[in-house]
Amino acid sequence: MSLPRALKSILSLDDFEQAARRRLPRPIFGYIAGAAENNLSRDDNRAAFAELGFVPRVLRQVSARDQGVELFGTRYAMPFGIAPMGISALSAYRGDIVLASAARQAGIAAIMSATSLIRLEEVAQAAPGTWFQAYLPGDVERIDALVDRVAAAGYRQLVLTVDIPVSANRENNVRTGFSTPLKPSLRLAWDGMIRPRWTAGVFLRTLARHGMPHFENSFATRGAPIMSASVLRDFSARDHLNWEHVARIRARWQGQLIIKGIMHPADAALAREHGADGIIVSNHGGRQLDGTVSPLRVLPEVARAAAGMVVMMDSGIRRGTDVLKALALGAHFVFVGRPFNYAAAVGGQAGVAHAIRLLREEVDRDMAMLGILSPADMKPSLLAARAAPASIPRENG
């Protein structure tokens, strides 16, 4: 298959970041790339992977290798998926549909973000099988109404994100000119003028065909326009959410319930006690509490405490080797965020498909060179610490 010109020089997920920097206005790129405060958590997400090396096996006859995995009764073609990312329809035209459709075509999982600008019903229709992520307040009426709306749209996986009781201090976003709500300014206008492909292909095209973007899925009813001062009301009162609300959601939601943002083993155990089907070990890509360690560092202990639940992980994954390191330490599946957002910005659905293909090919090569046939074969014995390590559990036997 011939690649579009813009993608021919893209050889890895990291390459998408620099290409997106050239394509996107500075505030939009800053929103995606930014993290909290001093970026300690974002940087540790990458550092933790670098501290682990491989101890491969050889002469293992790996010609029949298959990287497919099963989650919640569904077979996925690869052990990675697309993480939820807010306002991705500002990165690429109809970005939520672009991401979900590329994932469906490739046979992988994708999670739609609650802070999205396209109605969840439209995404479900375009890409059945997409998962939905919710940020919920401690307001039972709003919780019940949104859960019912998500179920009515046909979603089967509800991902409850629990690590954002209050808004983070993302001063890095502010420095690049991004704010919530977006505020018209000479600087914002200039940023749009010097990125004409984005201005015409994403912003003006969206306005012409769909009107001013709104936050569509924070609640059961339509949220505020992205440039409205009332946007902030859509993100309030999350500090009331607690485990009693999880129990209520579990009783109401008939599909799979996944808790995202688990970092402590005790919370993994509580998620299991409250009926969760799975957890995502995550520090929100370093965008919440700065100084929170990389999920990779706590993954083995959290996986042990999960005791039978499906364990997934995100934050910092950029290579096939990262995917396999996470699998070795207890994850059944991983999610990748920013690189797929950049890919959508650079090349639309073709860009996301190319990013998936690059990561799939890396995982395939890495499995062969490690001497394994399936993701389930990825064990701690194939890892060794290179520096102050993420914890490597011992195998029985």
Task: Write out the catalytic residue numbers.
Answer: 284
Whether 260 has a binding-site annotation, put simply, is yes
**Are the C-beta atoms of 78 and 334 separated by less than 8 Å?**
no
Whether 287 has a binding-site annotation, put simply, is yes
Whether 367 has a binding-site annotation, put simply, is no
* DSSP letter (8 states) at residue 225: B
Whether 318 has a binding-site annotation, put simply, is yes
Whether 267 has a binding-site annotation, put simply, is no
Whether 161 has a binding-site annotation, put simply, is yes
Whether 118 has a binding-site annotation, put simply, is no
Whether 133 has a binding-site annotation, put simply, is yes
Q: How far apart are the first and last CA of the chain?
A: 46
Instruction: Give the number of C-alpha atoms closer than 13 A to the C-alpha of residue 383, restricted to the C-beta side.
Output: 29
Of 117, 111, 123, give the one whose Cα is nearest residue 31.
117
Whether 85 has a binding-site annotation, put simply, is yes
Element (H, E) at 368: helix 338-370
Strand runs labelled E in the chain: 52-54, 69-71, 74-76, 80-82, 111-112, 131-134, 157-161, 256-262, 278-281, 310-313, 333-336, 383-385
Whether 315 has a binding-site annotation, put simply, is yes
Whether 8 has a binding-site annotation, put simply, is no
Whether 91 has a binding-site annotation, put simply, is no
Distance CA 33, CA 21 (A): 9
Whether 81 has a binding-site annotation, put simply, is no
Whether 325 has a binding-site annotation, put simply, is no
Whether 240 has a binding-site annotation, put simply, is no
* Residues constituting the chain: 397
Whether 170 has a binding-site annotation, put simply, is yes
Distance CA 96, CA 94 (A): 6
Whether 374 has a binding-site annotation, put simply, is no
Residue partners of 31: CB distance under 8 A and separation at least 6: 87, 90, 173, 176, 178
Element (H, E) at 295: helix 295-306
Q: What residue type is assigned to position 103 of the chain?
A: A
Distance CA 351, CA 114 (A): 23
Whether 14 has a binding-site annotation, put simply, is no
Residue partners of 168: CB distance under 8 A and separation at least 6: 36, 284, 287, 288, 289, 290
Q: Please give the annotated binding residues for FMN, written as ranges.
A: 84-86, 113, 133, 161, 282, 314-318, 337-338
Q: Please give the annotated binding residues, written as ranges.
A: 31, 84-86, 113, 133, 135, 161, 170, 260, 282, 284, 287, 314-318, 337-338
Q: Please give the annotated binding residues for glyoxylate, written as ranges.
A: 31, 135, 170, 260, 284, 287
